[in-house]
Structure 1
Amino acid sequence: METTIIEELKEEAEEKFKKIDIYKIFAYFLVCGFIGWIFETLAVWITLGELTDRGYLFVMGPLKDYIGFFANIPILDSIPLVWGLPIIEMYGFGGVIMILLFRHLKDHKAKIFVYGAILMTLFELGSSYFCTMVLHHSYWDYKQEFLNFQGRICLRSSIAWGALSIVAIEFLMPRLDNLYRHIRARKNFKIIIAVLIIYTIICAATKYIIDPTIIAN
């Protein structure tokens, strides 16, 4: 009897896995990562009064330092070299996790808030340990925040995750689903997504492996 139940659950899991649209998931990742980049950039700007490099958007020195040709052009010689993607992967992964796990809770805001706050706080905690132990770098510090744990998580962040979970499920998910239905039919859509996936991997490798100092935060 137990074997039969386990086999049924296994078959159900395999069937759900086969239905996963990797292109849709990555589209979710990009949109949520971009929204997170806007949110965090504005939050830091309002708090500190300055714009900072965040996520995978790399703002480097003047173009003339990399391409000598621009040194002879008065206006362009001072323009910085900007490349990468305006996304923060924490929000990208977070958005995907929220939408995949909580979409069935639509219209149950209290549950979404509580589950989202708990799960995403644990996700943030695990990500923090990964960054310090594997990447040997700390990308955020909540030590000055009320009710924090080792500066890795805090109450304010948990509340924000809960609120973002509601926004993701109640507001963002249906619009993303509708947008995806339109764009997936476009010519070369899968090729474009594949290129973006490769480029994102390059950006991540640059930030975390090739040059961990490319962004100070």
Structure 2
Amino acid sequence: MVYKKQLNDMQKLVLYFVIYSFLGWILETIFALFVLGKFVKRGFLYGPVCPIYGFGAVLIILTLKKFKGKKTKEFFISMIVFSVFEYVVSWLFEMIFHLRWWDYSNDIGNINGRISIAYSVAWGVIGLVFNEKIHPFIESKLDKAKNKMSYEVQKIIVLILPIAILTDFILSSVKYLTRL
């Protein structure tokens, strides 16, 4: 059965946020496994999500929508958007929680250890690949999955998953704030 009524754009963005937060956690976990040679819990939250990736993905979805196929623009816009976002998040975490989740101080061309040229270029490439390949693939799979669910079930999912992440964020924040 294919359901006709679909989620609106904001509800889709909420789902993308959750999906990419989870995929970001997987990416971080695999990266740490290769770099450190062991499993390390990555991210700020208790659960298997890294919201910075979810927010970054939504930012790129919104920012690059009209630049699809213009690869040079996609690359540079991704580089700038992700770098500014990474800098702001790093600064906020340090101001609020007195923690630095990453430090690029030893990298060439870093700014206050929060961002670096190498990671900015990597973000540009990731944004380009994300916009051209990853997001269209995820979007098509999500559309197929949504067509098999009633609108009511979709709305429940869109409501429950962000509430779970928000609850996790609050509990994690309390944990880190009580350390101060």
Q: TM-score, normalised by structure 2?
A: 0.85
Once residues 148 and 155 of structure 1 are traced to their aligned partners in structure 2, the CA distance between those partners, rounded to angstroms, is 6
Supply the RMSD in Å over aligned alpha carbons: 2.1
User: Identity, % of aligned pairs?
Assistant: 31
More strand per residue: 1 or 2?
1
Match of 1:193 among 158, 166, 172: 158
Equivalent in the alignment of 2:41: 53
Deviations 1:131-175 (A, max 9, x none): 111233222111222221111111121011101111211012222
Which is higher, the Rg of structure 1 or of structure 2? 1
Query: In the alignment, residue 34 of structure 1 is paired with which amino acid?
Result: F
Query: 1:211 maps to which residue?
Result: 175
Counterpart amino acid of residue 98 in structure 1: I
Quote the residue 1:104 is aligned against: 66
Q: One-letter code of the match for 1:205? A: I
Which of 100, 108, 113 is the matching residue for 1:138? 100
Residue 181 (structure 1) aligned to one of 143, 157, 162: 143
AA of the residue aligned to 1:174? P
- Residue 44 of structure 1, aligned match among 14, 18, 32: 32
Give the distance between the partners of 1:152 and 1:57, measured in 2 at CA.
20
Find runs of 4+ consecutive structure 1 residues off by over 4 angstroms.
none
Higher relative contact order (CA 8 A, sep 6+): 2
Deviation sequence 1:21-48 (CA, Å, 0-9, x none): 2221111112222222122211222112
Segments of 5+ residues of structure 2 without an aligned counterpart are: 1-6
Normalised by the length of structure 1, the TM-score is 0.71
Amino acid at match of 1:50: K
Instruction: Tell me, in whole angstroms, the C-alpha distance in 1 between the residues paired with 2:45 and 2:38.
Output: 16
Tell me whether 1:156 sits opposite 2:121 in the alignment.
no
User: Which residue pairs with 1:78 in the alignment?
Assistant: none
